[in-house]
Amino acid sequence: MRVLLGITGCIGAYKAAEVLRGLQRAGVAVRVVMTRNATEFVRPLTFEALSGQPVIVGMYDRPDYATIEHIALAREADLLLVAPATANVVARFAQGLADDFLSTVYLSNTNPVLLAPAMNVEMWNHPATQANLETLRRRGVEIIEPGIGYQACGEVGAGRLAEPEEIVRRTLERLHRGAERSSDLAAHHIMITAGPTIEDLDPARYLTNRSSGRMGYALAEAAVARGARVTLVSGPVRIPLPAGVEVQSVRSGREMYEAVLAGLESATIFIGAAAVADFRPVARAEQKIKKAGRTRLTIEFEATEDIIGAVAAAPGRERRLVVGFAAESQAVNEYAVAKIREKSLDMIVANDITAPGAGFDVETNAATIIDRHGRAVELPLQSKREMADRIFDEILRFGSEQQRRS
């Protein structure tokens, strides 16, 4: 396991040496990146001696280096840990600035990120700092909360760097969690539906919903990262396609239904995360519907295909887990439990679309995972990518439990 340790400029920088040693004792290889301000508190030579690796400070410290180093370092490490993380670096990370080596590494990094903030109590409590931290949390960055106590400035309060032992513990916990997940879905073909569907009224108008597809795409990304073969059946979205995923683009509920059933046979896990329209017009108008003095318009609708119900009833059900989503605005868990029974699902992810940060077209979500045995797991507000991993953790737990019962 490899950690890239970022050190920024505050009095707590000296504690980073203890963090480095603690990680090394656990068998972790550590490479260090320092900001210029950090070198005013501790010399790079200290960390070079401890790590046995050159410490990088400036973007152009080693112009003869053969690789694009910030990208190479980001890819070589299993995790980026910044301890201490000043209010300045928290702000730069949140805003996506890349004006030094550490912030450039952060933007190049696709691995887990842990920040251990350290700053004056007033800086910690400032609304701008808290807003920046919340932005990073929504993007999946884990924050190791600072301690409360006497600070170098003479004040007492929240903001002092967490103890090195706690930083090491949290880092190892995150590394082990990632290692355990790295191939735990390798035996599975996972089919996921995502995004909205579109039902045409006439050549100019259609019915749809506010789904962005982010949750389904996060599930696909997480599944690939954990070794699965993934088929993503996606309605129209405006987000990048996940790498390593087989994508089938569809438009209407009927097209999604047909694509799912056509490719379902080899799937061992099906997750219906799409927001499929419940109804469509019985007949699509061939020409644009004109207002023409009308004050009312009546359109007859019919129910769309029940995709997840058809999946649950399809041949091979005994070797396939079926997971649904329930996006509700009231009685969320009650509707979710009823849907498990009605559709013969194994599990459902229920969320309140009226809750702040948990509705459509946002980067975060909060939900309750309920299985058909009545077990419920609450997932607090977090990034959809984090939630995707938690959902797969529960799917694997449920699958193992089913094997034991049989």
Looking at the annotation, which residues are catalytic? 153
| CB atoms inside a 10 Å sphere around CB 172 | 18
- Are the beta carbons of 190 and 229 closer than 8 angstroms? yes
The sign of the torsion formed by the CA atoms of 72, 363, 173, 346 equals negative
**Helix or strand run (H / E) with residue 327:** strand 321-328
The sign of the torsion formed by the CA atoms of 330, 332, 336, 337 equals negative
Query: What is the pairing mode between strands 206-207 and 269-272?
Result: unpaired
Question: Within 13 A of 280's CA, how many CA atoms are on the CB side?
Answer: 20
- Backbone dihedral angles phi then psi of residue 397, each to the nearest 5 degrees: -60, -45
Q: Whole-angstrom Cα distance, residue 156 to residue 120?
A: 9
Judged by DSSP in three states, 156 sits in strand
Alpha helices in 52-112 (DSSP H): 69-76, 87-95, 101-108
- Are the beta carbons of 262 and 255 closer than 8 angstroms? no
Nearest CA to 312 out of 267, 254, 245 is that of 267
- Are the beta carbons of 27 and 15 closer than 8 angstroms? no
Greatest Cα-to-Cα distance within the chain, rounded to the nearest angstrom:
83
Nearest CA to 115 out of 89, 91, 88, 83 is that of 83
Question: Within 13 A of 247's CA, how many CA atoms are on the CB side?
Answer: 20
Q: Whole-angstrom Cα distance, residue 59 to residue 107?
A: 14
- Quote the tokens at residue 285: 């108008």
Question: How many contiguous H segments (helices) and E segments (strands) does the chain have?
Answer: 13, 19
